[in-house]
Amino acid sequence: MKKYVLKKILSIIPIMLVVSIIAFGLVTLSSGNIAEIVLRGSGVKASEESIRMVTERLGLDKPIYIQYWNWLKGILRLDFGKSYMSGLPITNDLIFRSVQSAKLALYGLIILVSTALPLGILSALYPKSLIDKGARGLSFLSASLPGFWVGLMILYLFGVKLKMISVIGSEDSSVIIFPAFTLALGSIGSYIRLIRINMLEVIDKSYIKAARAKGLSEKIVILKHALKNAMLPILTKFGVTIGAFLGGSTVVEIVFSYRGLGTYVMSAITNKDFPVIQAYVILIAAVIVIINLLVDILYIIINPKIELK
């Protein structure tokens, strides 16, 4: 177990190294003069002299490998440089935006799990019942409705018609439910179906029948034996979902004017603020590989019989 985890941790190093090369290439292969972009962002006229000064200050006159090494050393110190547009350190903004996106993702995951898990279980336990039909209907609805449309309808209903709350541009916990629900809705259906299928497969297994034959209560049989084994194939998908909620919530954040990573990187792309884009790529890649590592470890904890390779 320890050797397996250590091997997985060490495998993160080459992955992140490749990602860093790709992220750095975003700047070196980008069109346009970086010095001019920096000057335009600061409102300074791009004269030959000012371009030369900025080029020297940013080290753009040095060989590519030296530029990469200097940038990588900063990344290792969690120093992502300064924004071309604001001239301020990126790290502070990145931390704030990451916290906001993490909060949104957490609320979305809570809504997802609290909805899909019980409906998926009940749908499997009572096939062809009213609950099963309702759960399958919700699954179809979840897959059919575009997230941005749901978000706009929520804004129109609660913000314009009912005037219950100011939905736009707020991170208040009472308001974050709306973008979190919009974020979760697209995944609820697939999880209901996946949980239902896995539960139907597991409850017919011999060890479930043996547990019932021993006189164990149905609650213990379902929660301790059936659900535990049914959740194993779902863990991998759940890890992907966490990464998607953290890094793929751009549309939802734009619709609700939510100040998370999505709106942050979209603004950077629009303004060619390459250091911000680089920082975003590095951060999301790191989050994804760490989540995958944790999922692998959790997989082994739940099922120690899995062969470690």
> Is the dihedral angle over the CA atoms 250, 254, 255, 256 positive or is it negative?
positive
Average pLDDT for the chain: 86
Could you tell me the two tokens for 144? 């059919």
Confidence of residue 261 (pLDDT cuts 50, 70, 90): very high
pLDDT at 35: 80
Q: Mean pLDDT, to the nearest integer, of 244-259?
A: 87
Do residues 41 and 271 make contact, with C-beta atoms less than 8 angstroms apart?
A: yes
Residue 213 CA to its chain's centroid (Å): 43
pLDDT at 17 over 80: yes
Average pLDDT over residues 293-298: 86
Percent of the chain with pLDDT over 70: 93
C-alpha distances (whole Å) from 52 to each of 34, 59, 243, 255 are 11, 10, 41, 40
Tens of pLDDT, residues 164-209: 766 555 555 667 888 999 999 989 999 999 999 999 999 888 888 8
Confidence of residue 305 (pLDDT cuts 50, 70, 90): low
Contacts of residue 129, Cβ cutoff 8 Å, sequence gap at least 6 = none
Q: What is the pLDDT of residue 174?
A: 62
Please tell me whether residue 32 adopts helix, strand or coil conformation: coil
Cα–Cα distances in angstroms (integers) from residue 176 to residues 102, 130, 184, 214, 244, in the given order: 12, 32, 12, 47, 18
Q: Is residue 308 scored above 60 in pLDDT?
A: no
SS3 content of the chain, % helix, strand, coil (to 5): 75, 0, 25
CA 189, CA 142: separation in Å to the nearest integer?
Answer: 5
**81-126 confidence digits (pLDDT tens):** 889 888 889 999 999 999 999 999 999 999 999 999 999 999 999 9
Q: How far is the C-alpha of 215 from the C-alpha of 1, rounded, in Å?
A: 35
DSSP string across 80-91: --B-TTT-SBHH
Q: For residues 105 and 260, is the Cβ–Cβ distance under 8 A?
A: no
Lowest mean pLDDT segment, chosen from 127-131, 243-247, 295-299:
295-299
- CA nearest neighbour of 191 among 138, 243, 144, 150: 138
> Which of residues 300 and 153 earns the better pLDDT score?
153
Range 138-151 average pLDDT:
87
pLDDT attached to residue 135: 93
Q: pLDDT by residue (tens digit) across 44-65?
A: 777 788 888 888 888 888 888 9
Specify the residue for token string 């279980």: 121
- Please name each of the domains of the chain with its CATH number: 102-302 (1.10.3720.10)
**C-alpha dihedral (255, 258, 262, 263), degrees to nearest 10:** 80
pLDDT at 69: 93
- The structure's pTM equals 0.85
**Sign of the Cα pseudo-torsion (101, 105, 108, 110, in order):** negative
